[in-house]
Amino acid sequence: MPLTRRKALLPLIALATACGMGGAQAESNYPSKPIRVIVPYPAGGGTDTIARLIGTQLSQRWGQPVVVENKPGASGILGNDAVAKAPGDGYTVLMGITTVVQIPALYKKVPYKLGDLAPVSQVAKSADLLMVPRSSGVTTLQQFVQQAKAEPGKLNYGSYGNATSSHMNGERFKQKAGIDITHIPYQGSGPEVAALLGGQLTLAFVDATAAYPHIKSDRLNILAITGAQRHPALPQVPTMTEAGYPGLAANGWFGMFVPASTPKAIVDKLGTEVSSIVKSPELHKRLTEMGLIPVGSLPDDFKAEIDKDAAHWKAVAEAAKISMD
């Protein structure tokens, strides 16, 4: 290469080297400024509570503010998309739920792809409880199915939102049981439980975090639980499979994500810290008290779970013929 050309390239080489060193420096110094955790649902719900619990611990451990920002709307799409399109520097984090993988299975047009988000840690697993007003006199799932078959189209079920586990499980249950009941979606579990207590719903698929305060209520009966196993706090409640309706054994979950462009070193550092926080006695106890099963997985393990769940929920959506477009 001519000497004059090499001299001309020297500034570009120096700049590229500096940028590379700057990126490595930024990764090694992470975090060096406040972290923003996006919750795609309203304040006060289970997702919001978990984000604030973990955020407080992260802030204490890392000495940087962790700000939780609620960005509800479009069944979680707005918040998920905001993180997917954020800079991949580790300073914008998503506290998401199973809808992260369910939405692409239900909607033909989604502003983000599942691959736009990098899994950080599965915080905890959850399940839906099938609950009815005690005044209905129904005490088993079989009784409810018999009633629904005797009164086709007259009963309903509530979910905590379109494109959520409760919605998909509800439609799958209808198909498995061969019943005609109307789906009524709510903006979160809080309003859904209020409607159930108020008698506006005949059945509700209620997330364990919202159902937990009501499990000893004299106003509600619990008929079954989704997921692969019985809940530790409700050993007497059968799973859907045990109640005679297989195909609803997948657990829901709460998990953290960052933009896919985030360097692996930052993803791993954040994942390791979140995993440690979830497995600490304080957080483990708190999550258990919320009716959840603490996990605290590392990024690669969560990625494997994501891939498996994406295939499962796509199959559920196709089998139950659920589409939101």
Q: How confident is the model at residue 290 (pLDDT cuts 50, 70, 90)?
A: confident
Last residue of a domain, one of 177, 209, 225: 225
pLDDT tens profile 139-167: 999 999 999 999 999 999 999 888 888 99
The number of domains in the chain is 2
- DSSP state, 45? S
Same domain for 147 and 202? yes
74 and 211 co-located in one domain: no
Question: Any idea what the CATH number is for the domain that residue 176 is in?
Answer: 3.40.190.10
Mean of per-residue pLDDT scores for the chain: 89
217 with 301, same domain: the answer is: no
**97 shares its domain with 149:** no
- Same domain for 311 and 285: yes
Q: Is 39 helix (H, G, I), strand (E, B) or coil?
A: strand
Do 53 and 103 fall within a single domain?
Answer: yes
Regarding whether 108 and 134 lie in a shared domain, the answer is no
Taking the C-alpha atoms of residue 47 and residue 60, their distance in angstroms, rounded to an integer, is 20
**Range of 304's domain?**
34-125+251-319
pLDDT recorded at residue 36: 98
Looking at residue 84, what is its pLDDT? 97
pLDDT for res 16: 52
Q: Are residues 295 and 263 in the same domain?
A: yes
| Burial call 257-282: b when 16+ CB within 10 Å, e when fewer | bbbbebbeebbebbbebbbebbeeee
CATH number of the domain where residue 119 is located: 3.40.190.150
Task: Count the neighbouring beta carbons within 10 Å of the beta carbon of residue 4.
Answer: 8
pTM value?
A: 0.83
CA distances from 36 to 41, 43, 101, 260 (A): 15, 15, 22, 16
Shared domain check, 104 and 61: yes
User: Which of 183, 207, 225 delimits the end of a domain?
Assistant: 225
What would the two tokens of residue 12 be? 């570009």
58 located within any domain: yes
**Per-residue confidence band for 42, with pLDDT thresholds at 50, 70 and 90:** confident
Same domain, yes or no, for 296 and 159? Answer: no
Domain assignment present for 144: yes
Query: Quick one: 121 and 138 in the same domain?
Result: no
Question: Given this model, what pLDDT does residue 183 score?
Answer: 96
**177 in any annotated domain:** yes
Domain co-membership, 208 together with 296: no
CB neighbours (10 Å) of residue 142? 15
Helices 264-279 & 3-28, crossing angle to 10 degrees? 10
Mean pLDDT of the 260-285 span: 97
Is 265 part of any domain?
Answer: yes
